[in-house]
Structure 1
Amino acid sequence: MMKFIMENKICHQTGIVILAAGSSSRLSRPKQLLQYKESTLLKNTISAALKVKNSFLIVVTGANHDLIAKELNLPEILFSFNSEWEKGMSSSIAKGITEALLVNPDCEQCILAVCDQPFVTSAIFENLISESKKTGKEIAASAYSETLGTPVLFHKKYFPELLALKGKEGAKKLIKKYAEDVVAVPFEKGNIDIDTEEDYNQLIS
């Protein structure tokens, strides 16, 4: 891991944290490994993240960690196992932010993403970064279906509050709390995510 840290500390100021710790309780199998476009849902998100310049990637796992790590044994990916994944999304966010600061203490901002938005692309991540920089807003959230959500970028000043989230609380709590510091970035089809077999069947049909 030390080699990974040294290689990524210089100039890689944006951490991309993919939250993939859930048990997919509404599915009969891990959603992270569902086949999609000759790949998997998780690998699709990882591929998009790896194309973003001056960034480093952390994948937070929990349930099904061994299966996921075996499937995606790539040197560019740093897996971070969240042993407290059952406590809810907040524990995975905290794990990801903590790991990002360990990899690069000078990390300026982090993008939080989930593994089951099949239409995410590198352009989505890049637009969050560019819009935040252009507007001076320190939260850049994806906009779809009249809501704001993931992927979402947070400047480092919000890291302490992300680390303090509890239970099922997620990034949306901070998006609402600091609405005046949020820029909305359109994400076409961002509302499509995979929670059930029906969702998945509609995606691949």
Structure 2
Amino acid sequence: MKTGIILLAAGSSSRLGRPKQLVELGGKTLIQNAIEESKKSQADSIVIVLGWNPDFIQTGFESKNVPVVINKSWEEGMASSMQTGLKFLIENIQTDQVILMLCDQPFVDAVLLNRLIEEKESSGKGIIACSYSGTIGVPALFDASYFNELLSLKGSEGAKKVIFNHSEDVLALDFPEGAIDLDTEDDLKKIKNLK
């Protein structure tokens, strides 16, 4: 099974007031860290989806080494960015399953990404999603049978809609650190104390 990772990094970080993709933790930007963890995992390919100010965001990582696609409709919401990445993987990699991940979940690492892939293989479920703060979400792995449904999402609809539509085919992976993302300067301060 070929696994592709779609790293979503298209937003403008309006709540933070500066691009979170370029926030540094432990000497690396969040986006560079997400790329490195993806590359260390068992996944076969990765595509980075940018939107807001892509040239500036590309200063935060080694963009020569990874495919980058630009979602010109990024302001429409998460669905269009995810679809931009998914279309790229379908057309160029012929991938069998995809992992959706965000660059602002600093505790997502290769170990977690490998667990998603391994649980998919051993459980036979079509969706493996992370569970935190009383919900289920990304990072999440979807097999090819869900690609059309992911491609039909609109606007701010995220992959969660597909996850909740098919709860009988979902395995939830406990990942409490998934609740930690970086939307405000306070979040950043907290994370610097944890890392």
Instruction: Confirm whether residue 124 of structure 1 aligns to residue 102 of structure 2.
Output: no
Deviates more, 1:142-151 or 1:169-178: 142-151
Q: TM-score, normalised by structure 1?
A: 0.91
Match of 1:62 in 2: 51
Distance of 1:74 and 1:26 partners within structure 2: 26
Q: Which runs of 5+ in 1 are unaligned?
A: 1-10
Find 2:21's aligned residue among 32, 40, 60. Answer: 32
Q: 1:94-109 to 2 correspondence within 5 Å?
A: 94-105=83-94, 107-109=95-97
Contact 1:117/1:193 (8 A) holds in 2:
yes
The answer to whether residue 9 in structure 2 is matched with residue 20 in structure 1 is yes
**Secondary structure, in 3 states, of the residue corresponding to 2:113?**
helix
Checking the alignment, whether the CA contact within 8 Å between 1:69 and 1:79 is kept in structure 2 is no
Find the aligned partners of 1:36 and 1:50 in 2 and give their Cα distance. Answer: 18
Pairs within 5 Å for 1:117-196: 117-196=105-184
User: Secondary structure of 1:25's partner?
Assistant: coil
- How many matched pairs? 193
Rounded to whole Å, the distance in 2 between the matches of 1:36 and 1:144 is: 22
Alignment of 1:72-87 (within 5 A): 72-87=61-76
User: Deviation of residue 44 (structure 1)?
Assistant: 1.3
Q: CA deviation at 1:15?
A: 0.4
Q: CA deviation at 1:115?
A: 0.7
Does the 8 Å contact 2:29/2:61 carry over to 1?
no
How far apart are 1:98 and its partner, in Å?
Answer: 0.2
Counterpart of 2:186 in structure 1 is 198
User: What's the offset of the Cα at 1:196?
Assistant: 1.0
Give the Å deviation of 1:28.
Answer: 1.7
- Structure 2 partner of 1:89: 78
Aligned to 2:39: 50
2-side partners of 1:101 and 1:128: how far apart?
20
Runs of 4+ in 1 over 4 A off after TM superposition: none
d(CA) in 2 for partners of 1:99, 1:135: 27
Identity of aligned residues (%): 44
**Matching of residue 110 in structure 1 with residue 98 in structure 2:** yes
Read off the aligned partner of 2:103 and give its amino acid letter.
C
Mapped contact 1:90–1:169 kept (Cα < 8 A): yes
CA RMSD of aligned residues (A): 1.2
| TM-score (normalizing by structure 2) | 0.95
Give the whole-Å Cα distance in 2 for the aligned partners of 1:165 and 1:177: 12
SS in 1 for 2:82: helix
8 Å CA contact 1:57–1:76 kept in 2: the answer is no
Tell me the CA shift for residue 55 of structure 1. 1.4
Helix, strand or coil: the match of 1:190? helix
